[in-house]
Structure 1
């Protein structure tokens, strides 16, 4: 067995240990209501078991990281699969650090699912070890990526604590207009999380079915000299094509639920060979996410936020507010070093300039400015509680777009990461 194969096995072990860690945290939080013994004693016992399981998962994750590094010949952070697995590992490291300070099992109940989702999302991408392109063959790649990911990991813990705070303080039984608006926004946040889960499930489900559809797309381009040229591309789908590529013909298409041809055509303004496939994936994610959300609501017989709110009795919201702030405060200087300073040094070595307005660079700056504003409003303006929590939650959306949206949607010097 090669080191790369062994690393894959360690990765699977880490994934399942994280899942079990989440389940044990669930027993610690939810089970205290039904425990015959002292609820605090019950939470302490199962919280300790959950934390140990999570740490074992982190050790397995470290094993994956270093064995893949040794087997692949370079640090495994060069594409979306490797970076997202590394980010998940850093989220666990940030969680362990914050948990060691505050000892709040509830934090694991929210952070472990986030880690599991990131790990599952990483598995969507090709997992082969790929050779490094020249700009990535630098020691500054290791320094830049690792520190930036660690800073983002602390932002993720801040997001988890901020979302916990909102679920704790928003009254889902209130009929007041202002409170109903907050209920809807919290529920919408959870709905988006369900859509992400549905996206991952959809990819693996259709991949397991072996679904395929092929299109021939013709693209007409006119040069600056007015010369017209036509290019032909073969576009492959692994999900049933609700929307087909613009100006394309079906080459072959598996039938699915009676659908033997695409329902719509991608708008002409969506450029690029992958644009239609990405739009199709988004459509399927929303459809399946909505169905999954409806099933969860049917089982719970109430909003997801209301169900989670009911198990958070006894949790001090001020502790959650403090944890969210501290996690972001720790991550901010690390992110500043990794995503800005070290990134500019690497950019100068790779492309002979410190700054070039590449989409990834721009969104890294936007993320930094966003959290700068968060800390300013928190420290100078006294924005605590709900205001601070909402900023923490929205901030992580900005982080995820910087990590995923820029690589997969926008075209730039960092587009290789989306391969």
Structure 2
């Protein structure tokens, strides 16, 4: 039942985003006789739909909590849907303060992408592993996600500022680097979308490949045992697991065997399948980006730039800064302080060098540098926008890349 509420929320968010797009584009249309009232009316429709969708999202969250018997933030599906909900909440808060319609055009798609990405992962309710059976799960994960949600809105505002300020017609070296930076950021988002679409497409087509491989483990008596694991692929296997045997593979574009084997140094659960996922994400991202660029007949950043006309860049810069300033102390509490307290209770130490811990620290240090440069060095405008964009890309790698590529104590949250 909870999945229905999530689906309804997802659809409403998409409609709300379209409402904001209509409001922004309509204000620039010569056919609109009263653009100010036109934009204000569609802005009210957009934020009203967003709040309505958020209520469905909250209903999903608590319904799932009742069904699972524990807070639904224990795996990638649950955490990413919760993060999407927090991004929408952060957007609503900042929209009600600044009334910036264009923010809905860029912040809502980030939440939509997060929910779509979450839907790729298994949605079955799973019992909590021992390390997660603590009330600190509620405190640590929710506050960390809320902090990251405000970073996401700061990222959206940063993209808006760059689209407005970068000279896409310029030919100097610095201007070309800025153009490439904007395109890379847009490509990263498109790559996630391409991955989500491809997984659902291959699932709908019933594609499957199966491998078996043997793994040595220690039992309760610390005696080495050899077990045979079964690894199932949804995407065609460009990479097979290390030292595995092919059981079944449906042909795809003439490919009946994997192209190569995952390297031995890649450790962790399903390392080969995760590497295969990363490769497919990059390849399909390139295809989708190239298609969109061909349709637009220009770089995507240049195609989106007209949406920023008439928007005060100082307001956008202020939104980005305020969003990060709100998110930073929340993230500090959730991702560092509460996380260290929980780590001491669960593993007997406040800090280890687990990859997720390291990257959470990198995120914290990056945004500390952002606030330092902003407040002490006067880095406003374009410099501040670049930092807000790069910072959230680091957050995304911490959330997605670490789970897909690097093995660690937090690998239970990936798949």
Contact 1:199 1:288 in 2 (8 A): yes
SS in 2 for 1:314: coil
Contact 1:29 1:311 in 2 (8 A): yes
Contact 1:76 1:82 in 2 (8 A): yes
2:90 to 94, 114, 117: 94
Deviation at 1:231, TM superposition (A): 6.1
Tell me the residue number matched to 1:20: 15
For structure 1, the residue ranges without an aligned partner over 5 or more in a row are: 222-227
Contact 1:233 1:273 in 2 (8 A): no
Measured in 2, the distance between the counterparts of 1:411 and 1:245 equals: 15
SS in 1 for 2:236: coil
Q: Deviations over 1:351-409 (max 9, x none)?
A: 23222232222222221111111100110011111111111111111112222223332
SS in 2 for 1:127: coil
Alignment of 1:200-239 (within 5 A): 200-217=196-213, 232-239=228-235
Contact 1:212 1:239 in 2 (8 A): yes
Corresponding position: 1:11 with 2:9: no
Measured in 1, the distance between the counterparts of 2:364 and 2:377 equals: 19
SS in 2 for 1:259: coil
Deviation at 1:309, TM superposition (A): 0.4
2:106 to 110, 123, 133: 110
Deviation at 1:57, TM superposition (A): 0.7
Alignment of 1:283-298 (within 5 A): 283-298=279-294
Q: Deviations over 1:202-226 (max 9, x none)?
A: 11111111111122335689xxxxx
Corresponding position: 1:139 with 2:135: yes
Q: Deviations over 1:101-159 (max 9, x none)?
A: 10000001101100100000111111111111222222221111111111111011001
Contact 1:219 1:247 in 2 (8 A): no
Corresponding position: 1:64 with 2:71: no
Change (3 A) 1:140 1:232: closer
Corresponding position: 1:361 with 2:360: no
Measured in 2, the distance between the counterparts of 1:214 and 1:407 equals: 22
Deviation at 1:410, TM superposition (A): 2.2
TM-score of the two chains, using structure 1 as the length reference: 0.93
Deviation at 1:276, TM superposition (A): 1.8
Measured in 1, the distance between the counterparts of 2:246 and 2:336 equals: 45
For structure 2, the residue ranges without an aligned partner over 5 or more in a row are: 218-223
Contact 2:26 2:32 in 1 (8 A): no
Measured in 2, the distance between the counterparts of 1:411 and 1:266 equals: 14
Measured in 2, the distance between the counterparts of 1:74 and 1:230 equals: 34
SS in 2 for 1:267: coil
Deviation at 1:272, TM superposition (A): 4.3
Q: Deviations over 1:33-53 (max 9, x none)?
A: 224222222211111101100
1:193 to 189, 192, 203: 189
Q: Deviations over 1:301-325 (max 9, x none)?
A: 1111001002211111111111100
2:146 to 150, 156, 159: 150
TM-score of the two chains, using structure 2 as the length reference: 0.94
Alignment of 1:291-310 (within 5 A): 291-310=287-306
SS in 2 for 1:383: coil
Tell me the residue number matched to 1:32: 27
Measured in 2, the distance between the counterparts of 1:233 and 1:145 equals: 31
